[in-house]
Structure 1
Amino acid sequence: MAPKEIEFQTINIIRCLLEDISTDDRCMVEPDGAVNEDQFDPTLIADKLRELADDYDEKVIQPLMKNITQAAADQVVTAFGDSVDSLCKSWVAERAEVSAEKHLLKATIMLGLYVKRNSPCLTGAIQNAMANILNTRLGTWVADQGGWDEVASH
């Protein structure tokens, strides 16, 4: 499970990502005091994650998207998670040199953005599913890397 700070950052990153808020829009969480140069900026991370997700393969994504859109409303989160896992497995077979965590991150972001573009009515459910996957399955890894800023810089 992710530390509380990572959970909070993840939710803000996903919000910026799915609401198409970029560094130009400055989706900053209002600071309690003076602005610090090192302050966490979820828009920077969201921009990096968009770049990561840009190289998706529609031949792989289309069948996964069909599963998600055909799922009953209460099963969208499960269908999304299953689709992320399926995507990760196909990538691991092709590129074993990339860590499983990076595959999971890329699959979650890529599939989330694809669903948002093609089924905008599912954005709320997908936002929750993405935050859940990233916080429960990658939260500790993100913290071990030094936080989202460090993950995005690689």
Structure 2
Amino acid sequence: MAPNADVVEWQTSQIIKYLFADDDFTNRRLDAGLEVDGPPGSDDEHFDPVIIGDKLRSVADSFNDDVLKAAVKDMTQAAAQEAIEAAFTNGVEAIFQSQVCQKAEVASEVQLIRASVAFGLYVWKSSPELKNKVQCAMNAFLNSRVGPWLTQQGGWDRVSI
């Protein structure tokens, strides 16, 4: 059964939680005897945020540092003004625009996912004090911009990153 929007939002939050886990703390296997409670309908045993997160990390590592650096500057200024979600969206859009022409064979939603993860992780590494704000902004961005598309695809585990 395909997940509903609540399940996709929960999956998104689990992936983001994994992406932003401290490197010392990160256990690369989620299925280490832990049972994670999800929303009703999230009984899909194929979903693993660790596998998806690792794929997203490797994609994020391939992004152009110059574009990321410029976007981080705007993001840190916006954080001081509490306009973090708007700045996050603007940063992702800038990265997306620089990458969109290069990967025409990849769905634009996948490109947005890749750009948001690359930007979010880069901001976190550059400004660790923004970790919680970036996590919230990334979660809001992904749920609003690609959440419906992810639901149509059948959830995160059905999308080729």
Please indicate the TM-score interval, normalised by the length of the shorter structure. Answer: 0.7 to 0.9
The answer to whether structure 1 residue 58 and structure 2 residue 65 are counterparts is yes
TM-score w.r.t. length of structure 1: 0.85
Q: Unpaired runs of 5+ in structure 1?
A: none
Q: 2:8·2:147 contact (CA, 8 Å) conserved in 1?
A: yes
What is the CA distance between 1:31 and its match in structure 2? 5.6
Q: Which residue of 2 aligns with 1:133?
A: 141
What is the CA distance between 1:42 and its match in structure 2? 1.6
Q: Unpaired runs of 5+ in structure 2?
A: none
The answer to whether structure 1 residue 116 and structure 2 residue 121 are counterparts is no
Alpha-carbon distance in structure 1 between the residues aligned to 2:29 and 2:141: 27
Question: Within 5 A, what are the aligned runs for 1:34-49?
Answer: 38-49=45-56
User: Percent identity between the aligned chains?
Assistant: 38
What is the CA distance between 1:147 and its match in structure 2? 0.9
Count residues in correspondence.
Answer: 149
Q: Which residue of 1 aligns with 2:19?
A: 17
Question: Within 5 A, what are the aligned runs for 1:68-147?
Answer: 68-71=75-78, 72-147=80-155
Q: Which residue of 2 aligns with 1:148?
A: 156
The structure carrying a bigger helix percent of its residues is 1
What is the CA distance between 1:92 and its match in structure 2? 1.8
Q: 1:64·1:83 contact (CA, 8 Å) conserved in 2?
A: yes
Alpha-carbon distance in structure 2 between the residues aligned to 1:82 and 1:29: 36
Letter in 1 for 2:123: V
Alpha-carbon distance in structure 2 between the residues aligned to 1:31 and 1:129: 23
Alpha-carbon distance in structure 1 between the residues aligned to 2:134 and 2:37: 28
Letter in 1 for 2:9: E
Give the 3 Å change call, closer, same or farther, for CA 94–85 of structure 1 in structure 2.
same
Q: Which residue of 2 aligns with 1:4?
A: 6
Alpha-carbon distance in structure 2 between the residues aligned to 1:56 and 1:126: 18
Q: 1:16·1:22 contact (CA, 8 Å) conserved in 2?
A: no
Give the 3 Å change call, closer, same or farther, for CA 102–78 of structure 1 in structure 2.
same
Alpha-carbon distance in structure 2 between the residues aligned to 1:87 and 1:4: 28
Aligned-residue CA RMSD in angstroms? Answer: 2.3
